[in-house]
């Protein structure tokens, strides 16, 4: 059976300000109403003969990933949590070990969680070709038929034909200059390296043992000492002892068992705002407008807002992206450098580098509406049947006003049920909990007051979601 392995550990800084480390691009609906992760999982459904997917990610995203998969009816075989980022080779090795526990003959289909494939039927056909080749003890990479002489992608040079449209891998080529890229495209023997692979899990591990044995040793220890945590498989800290190396460098550029299947599948790595402009539906003036946008006398622009109304006048070849707390305005030819903005924000210690005003939690979300000296106002949404941890604060008191639904409030040794337009007060130091016992979302406004309002002023006494005793909500 083919087991999809979805790599979801990226931070997606190139699509700032929508994509940030706590809400990266794979968890956002950028090219459809579904998120990139959801689209990836739905391309390889059990109905098409695939096994349930294995997803590997970091701890910060685990609840969002579980919720997004549940929302589209995908039941993962495992959601594996990396204790540290170690690039793709260790991630694939750990997932291969887990896949083999259920099927010693498993093929794993390694997919990025944040790529767009406009022709999913053609992708399934390419997987069919790759499966036949992989079962001949080959590690198959999907090569994307070039549509332009791109200098931002690595290339794969095709060798001898194998069968049914597959080729041996002659060489991997680094990102070329323009003249070299033009020669590659004109020659017809090079494809873009998609970073997607299909291979027998056991063969991949054997090749990793041959070239990078420390990777496999660390992953074997991490899986063996891993622990189940609710719906997650938490790899042990041994994983962090693996060398940080990509699967390309660790195996594909060194193995004699590589093969490539050229595929014209409408692929994009959605690596920049200019890529989203190319993917989007353009108006008569070449503009892609998403959200509450008014455009006048502007051409070839990408304008997106999830916050305020954005109006543009007389712009050309410009990207404008507005969220609730950041507005990015950039020359469309320079959006690859947006990471420099993120780096400057991180150097200044600004929260915009990592998080949005809306923060997601396993019980729902909260959004900061106002923040000033000794006060903060939040909107909080608690999902039906969910509850926050039992907790206390050393430095702040809280006032809650219910605006929708019903809330069960525990304060010290007392409980009360609050309905719409009712309120309560949580004094500084009180042990408290908020719960939604109803069948509709609970929405309330929280007003915090005190000397310190940071999210680390929480002493967690009991929690349904296995989180640490002292952490953010």
- Name which CATH class applies to 2-268: alpha beta
**Residues 6 or more apart whose Cβ sits within 8 Å of residue 288:** 276, 277, 280, 281, 282, 301, 302, 303, 304
The residues that bridge with 379 in the sheet, in sequence order, are: 367, 445
Q: Where are the domains of the chain?
A: 2-268, 282-341, 358-462
CA distance linking residue 383 with residue 362, whole number of Å? 9
pLDDT tens digits in sequence order for the chain, 473 residues long? 999 999 998 877 899 999 999 999 999 999 999 999 999 999 999 999 999 999 999 998 999 999 999 999 999 999 999 999 999 999 999 999 999 999 999 999 999 999 999 999 999 999 999 999 999 999 999 999 999 999 889 999 999 999 778 999 999 998 999 999 999 999 999 999 999 999 999 999 999 999 999 999 999 999 999 999 888 999 999 999 999 999 999 999 999 999 999 999 999 999 999 999 999 999 999 999 999 999 999 999 999 999 899 999 999 999 999 998 999 999 999 999 999 999 999 999 999 999 999 999 999 999 999 999 999 999 999 999 999 999 999 999 999 999 999 999 999 989 999 999 999 999 999 999 999 999 999 999 999 999 999 888 999 999 988 877 654 44
pLDDT given for residue 463 in this prediction: 92
CA angle, 183 then 186 then 192, to 5°: 80
String of b and e for 174-199 (b: at least 16 CB within 10 Å)?
A: eebeeebbeebbeeeebbbbbbbbbb
pLDDT at 471: 47
pLDDT value of position 258? 96
From residue 69, give the alpha-carbon distance in Å to each of 23, 113, 303.
15, 12, 29
Question: Taking the domain 358-462, which CATH number applies?
Answer: 2.60.120.10
Cβ neighbour number for residue 400 with a 10 Å cutoff: 20
Alpha-carbon span 178 to 259, nearest angstrom? 26
Q: What is the pLDDT of residue 396?
A: 96
Q: Contact, 3 vs 53, CB < 8 A?
A: yes
257-285: burial string, b at 16+ Cβ within 10 Å, e else: bbbbbbbebebbbbbbbbbbbebbeeeee
Residue 470: predicted pLDDT: 55
């Amino acid at each position: 059976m083919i087991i999809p392995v979805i790599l979801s550990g990226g931070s997606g800084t190139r699509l700032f300000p929508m994509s940030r480390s706590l809400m990266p691009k794979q968890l956002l609906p950028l090219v459809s109403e579904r998120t990139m992760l959801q689209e990836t999982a739905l391309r390889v459904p059990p109905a098409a003969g695939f096994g349930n997917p294995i997803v590997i990610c970091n701890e910060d995203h685990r609840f969002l990933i579980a919720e997004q998969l549940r929302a589209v009816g995908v039941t993962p075989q495992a959601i594996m949590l990396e204790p540290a980022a170690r690039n793709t080779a260790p991630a694939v090795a750990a997932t291969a070990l887990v896949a083999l526990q259920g099927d010693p003959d498993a093929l794993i289909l390694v997919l990025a969680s944040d790529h767009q494939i406009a022709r999913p039927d053609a992708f399934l056909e390419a997987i069919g070709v790759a499966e036949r080749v992989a079962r001949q003890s080959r590690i198959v990479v999907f090569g994307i038929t070039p549509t332009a002489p791109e200098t931002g992608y690595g290339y794969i040079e095709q060798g001898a034909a194998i069968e049914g449209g597959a080729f041996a891998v002659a060489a991997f080529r680094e990102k070329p200059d323009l003249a070299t890229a033009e020669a590659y495209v004109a020659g017809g023997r090079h494809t873009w390296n998609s970073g997607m692979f299909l291979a027998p899990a056991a063969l991949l591990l054997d090749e990793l043992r041959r070239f990078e044995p420390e990777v496999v040793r660390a992953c074997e220890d991490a899986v063996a000492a891993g622990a189940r945590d609710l719906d997650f498989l938490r790899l042990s800290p041994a994983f962090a002892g693996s060398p940080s190396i990509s699967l390309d460098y660790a195996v594909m550029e060194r193995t004699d068992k590589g093969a490539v299947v050229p595929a014209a599948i409408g692929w994009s790595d959605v690596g920049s705002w200019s890529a989203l402009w190319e993917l989007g539906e353009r108006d008569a003036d070449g503009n892609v407008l998403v959200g509450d946008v008014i455009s006048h006398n502007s051409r070839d622009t990408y304008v997106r807002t999830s916050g305020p109304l954005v109006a543009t006048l007389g712009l050309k070849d410009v990207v404008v992206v507005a969220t609730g707390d950041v507005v990015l305005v950039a020359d469309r030819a320079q959006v690859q450098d947006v990471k420099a903005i993120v780096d400057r924000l991180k150097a200044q210690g600004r929260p915009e580098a990592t998080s949005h005003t809306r923060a997601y939690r396993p019980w729902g979300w909260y959004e900061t509406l106002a923040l000033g000296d000794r006060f903060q106002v939040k909107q909080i949404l608690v999902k039906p049947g969910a509850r926050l941890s039992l907790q206390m604060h050393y430095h702040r008191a809280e006032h809650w006003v219910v605006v929708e639904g019903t809330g069960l409030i525990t304060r010290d040794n007392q409980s009360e049920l609050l309905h719409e337009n009712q309120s309560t007060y949580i004094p500084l130091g009180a042990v408290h909990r908020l719960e939604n016992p109803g069948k509709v979302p609970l929405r309330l406004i929280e007003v915090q007051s005190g000397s310190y309002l940071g999210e680390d002023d929480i002493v967690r006494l009991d929690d349904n979601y296995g989180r640490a005793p002292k952490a953010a909500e």
